[in-house]
Amino acid sequence: MSELETDEIDAVVFDVLGTLVDEPAGIRAGIRRLGPSLEEARTEELLSLWHQHIDREQRRILDGVRSYVPGDVLDREAAQLVADAAGVGDAAAVATLARSGRRLPPWPDTVPGLARLAERFPLIGLSNASRTALLELNAHAGLRWHQVLSAEDVRTYKPDPAVYQLAVTVSGRPPERLLMAAAHAWDLRAAQELGLRTAYVARPVGDPPLPSDRFDVHAEDVADLARQLGDAQGLSG
C-alpha cells in the first residue's frame, strides 16, 4: 500500500540483482552447466559458496580491508572457488561460469512493469554489478532504462552512501524526489539514510523488512508497484 503521493516523485531508482532479475537462478544454471552430474543438494551448496564469497569480499572492501576491485573480479574468484570445490579444472568452463551473472532471467513481471513505469517516470538502474556486466545483463533480460548506473563508477559497493549519491547526482534532483525500489531491506535502509523515498518489492530471494522498517511503499512485484503508482496518479489499466 502506498504512503506517498506520486507527484512527490521525479524518478524511480531500481536495484537490479534480485529485484528485477533472479540472480540465484542464473548462477545455479551456470553451476549445472559446469557440473551436469552434480546432485541438487551439491549444486545448492556451491551456489551458497558463490554468494558467501561475493558477500564477504564486498564487505571487506567496504571495511577497507581489501582494495576496491570491480564485480567482474569477484565473479571470477567465486567461479574459481566453485570449480575447485566441484573438481573442475577446465579454464574455459570456469570463465563461462564467471559470466553466468550476466545472463540472469528477469522475473515474469519485470519487463511489463518497467514498461508501464517508464511511461510516467524516468527509470534509473543502480547496481553493484560492473558496467560491463550490466550492459550484457540488460540486453539479455530486456530491461528498459533511461539510465543505468554501476557502483563501479564510485569504486565501492552498496550500501555505501556514495552509491546512492550517484543516483541523486545523475538525476539532478534532491534525494526526497527519488523513489528507491528494491527487494532488499538493507538496500532500502541505506537509501533512506540519504533521504530517498523507498519501495519494498517482494521477491523470494530478497531480504524482507523487519517490523521496525518504515518504507513508503510495499509492492508484491514490479507490476504491483506500477499499479500502485499509476492508481495514485489516477491512471487507468
Q: Whole-model pTM?
A: 0.93
Alpha carbon distance 17, 126 (integer Å): 9
- Confidence at residue 233, expressed as pLDDT on a 0 to 100 scale: 52
pLDDT in tens, 200-225: 999 999 899 999 999 999 999 999 99
For 15-32, give the DSSP string.
--BTTTB-HHHHHHHHHH
pLDDT in tens, 172-190: 999 999 999 999 999 999 9
**What are the start-end ranges of the E strands in 120-214?**
123-127, 147-150, 178-182, 197-201
The CATH architecture one would assign to domain 24-102 is Orthogonal Bundle (1.10)
The residues with which 17 forms a beta bridge, in sequence order, are: 21
* 22-25 long-range contacts, CB within 8 A, separation 24+: 22/104, 22/105, 22/106, 22/107, 22/205, 23/101, 23/104, 23/205, 24/51, 24/205, 25/104, 25/105
Mean per-residue pLDDT for 122-135? 97
Q: Is the pLDDT of residue 230 over 90?
A: no
pLDDT-based confidence at 111, cuts 50/70/90?
Answer: very high
Give Cβ neighbours of residue 47 (< 8 Å, ≥ 6 apart): 24, 27, 28, 31
Domain ranges of the chain: 6-22+104-232, 24-102
The CATH architecture one would assign to domain 6-22+104-232 is 3-Layer(aba) Sandwich (3.40)
Q: How far apart are the first and last CA of the chain?
A: 18
pLDDT in tens, 72-105: 999 999 999 999 999 999 999 999 999 999 999 9
